[in-house]
Amino acid sequence: MKGSHFMMRLRRFRPALLACAFWLLAQPAQAVISCTVSSPGFTSFYDTTAGTANDSVSSATITCTRASGDASTQTYSLATNQGLRSRSNSYRASQNGQTLNYDVYKNAGRTTTWDQSNPFTGTINFGAGTSVTLSLPYYTRIPALQNVPAGVYTDTVTMTLTYGAATAVASYPVQNYVNTTCLISTPPGSVTFNYASFQTAAATASTTFTARCTSGLPYTLSLDAGGGTQLGINYSLLLPVTTGTGNGVNQTYSINGTAVANQAGSCASPTCSATDSRTLTLSF
């Protein structure tokens, strides 16, 4: 039997390492400017009977920071939403369903409103520093003679600051205090009697006046005396209406006078004249 044999060949190999060269490329740092905006809002005390507008002043503050390598300037725009209840390009504060109109302006002359269509715009300049604060005054006006009840009229106005591709949002409060008030807007004139001694009919005369009071406010009217005597002629004065409730507009009242008939009087000449002063009081 022939013997078997085998042959094994060994092949030598050399391990190889394939080195891949690569680089990590660092991206340049992005400029990061950060800004906030704030405002204390404004508070006013409004008289519904005053014939002039109620004006006040407040301000918005923009605060920005940057890294030392960032740009030294940044443009901005600061707009408002005209509050919670704006209508017809006017701001409105409210209380229990009642509204009080007011406006906010960018200039002291109160000719350019501050709103979405008319924002503050400008450039923030850091100079060599890394932070900057910018104060922007704004000017408010509540138009005169608005017929509203007394109370506190509030609003919340949202400001949106846009700088570059970023925005910052904040709000400010509005408080308008409407106090109860009354005034005699048109004083009474004279109650003038033309009287002849022993005339057979009473002499009458009257005058009118107007009062203006806050809506819903009750008030009373009174005279310091119900009559008097001049030149021996007795006369009486009467307020036909002595109570009222304000409605925010002028309300007209009268004072009526009477000198009864058949009085002799005392006059040493063909004609005589005399004057009394009476006081009208409006209480509320």
Compute φ and ψ for 83, nearest 5 degrees: 85, -175
For residue 32, the model assigns a pLDDT of 83
Asked if the model's pLDDT at residue 10 lies above 90, the reply is no
Summarize pLDDT for 63-120 with one digit per residue, the tens.
999 998 899 999 999 999 999 987 777 899 999 999 999 999 999 999 999 999 999 9
For the record, the structure tokens of 166 come out as 């970023």
- DSSP one-letter code for 87: B
Q: Between 275 and 14, where is the model more confident? A: 275
Q: Model-level pTM?
A: 0.74
Q: Which residues of 150-159 are buried (b: 16+ CB within 10 A; e: fewer)?
A: bbebbbebeb
For residue 150, the one-letter residue type is: A
pLDDT one-digit tens code per residue, 125-171: 999 999 999 999 999 999 999 999 999 999 999 999 999 999 999 99
pLDDT score of 24: 36
Question: So what's the pLDDT on residue 4?
Answer: 42
Q: How far is CA 57 from the centre of its chain?
A: 11
Distances (CA, A) of 102 to 115, 149, 172, 211, 213: 13, 16, 15, 25, 21
What's residue 31's pLDDT? 53
Q: CA–CA separation, 202 vs 254, rounded Å?
A: 19
According to DSSP, the residues that pair with 8 across neighbouring strands are: none
Predicted confidence (pLDDT) per residue in 22-35, tens digit: 333 444 445 589 99
- HSE, CB side, 13 Å, CA atoms: give it for residue 40: 9
Across the chain, mean pLDDT equals 90
Tell whether the model's pLDDT for residue 12 goes beyond 60: no
* Residue 213, amino acid: C
List all residues 6 or more positions away from 178 whose beta carbon is below 8 Å from its beta carbon: 46, 48, 100, 148, 149, 150, 151, 152, 153, 214
Tokens (6 digits) for 58: 């407040």
Phi/psi at 99 (nearest 5 deg)? -125, 145
CA torsion 187-190-191-196 (nearest 10°) is: 180
Looking at per-residue pLDDT, the higher value among 68 and 2 belongs to 68
Selected residue with higher pLDDT from 131 and 7:
131
Q: Is 274 left (phi over 0), alpha (psi -120 to 50) or beta?
A: beta
For 191, the 3-state DSSP assignment is coil
| Pair 192, 233: CB distance under 8 Å | no
Q: What domains, with CATH codes, occur in the chain? A: 33-178 (2.60.40.2040), 182-267+274-283 (2.60.40.1090)
| CA–CA gap between residue 36 and residue 52 (Å, rounded) | 36
Distance CA 231, CA 253 (A): 28
259 pLDDT higher than 60: yes
Q: In what order do the strands lie in the sheet with 280-283?
A: 243-245, 218-223, 280-283
To 5 degrees, how large is the angle CA 248–CA 84–CA 175? 55
Q: How far apart are CA 59 and CA 110, in angstroms?
A: 14
The pLDDT assigned to 278 comes to: 96
Give 19's pLDDT tier (boundaries 50, 70, 90): very low
Rounded Cα gap, residues 78 and 134, in angstroms:
12
CB atoms within 10 A of CB 66: 21
pLDDT tens per residue, range 181-240: 999 999 999 999 999 999 999 999 999 999 999 999 999 999 999 999 999 999 999 999
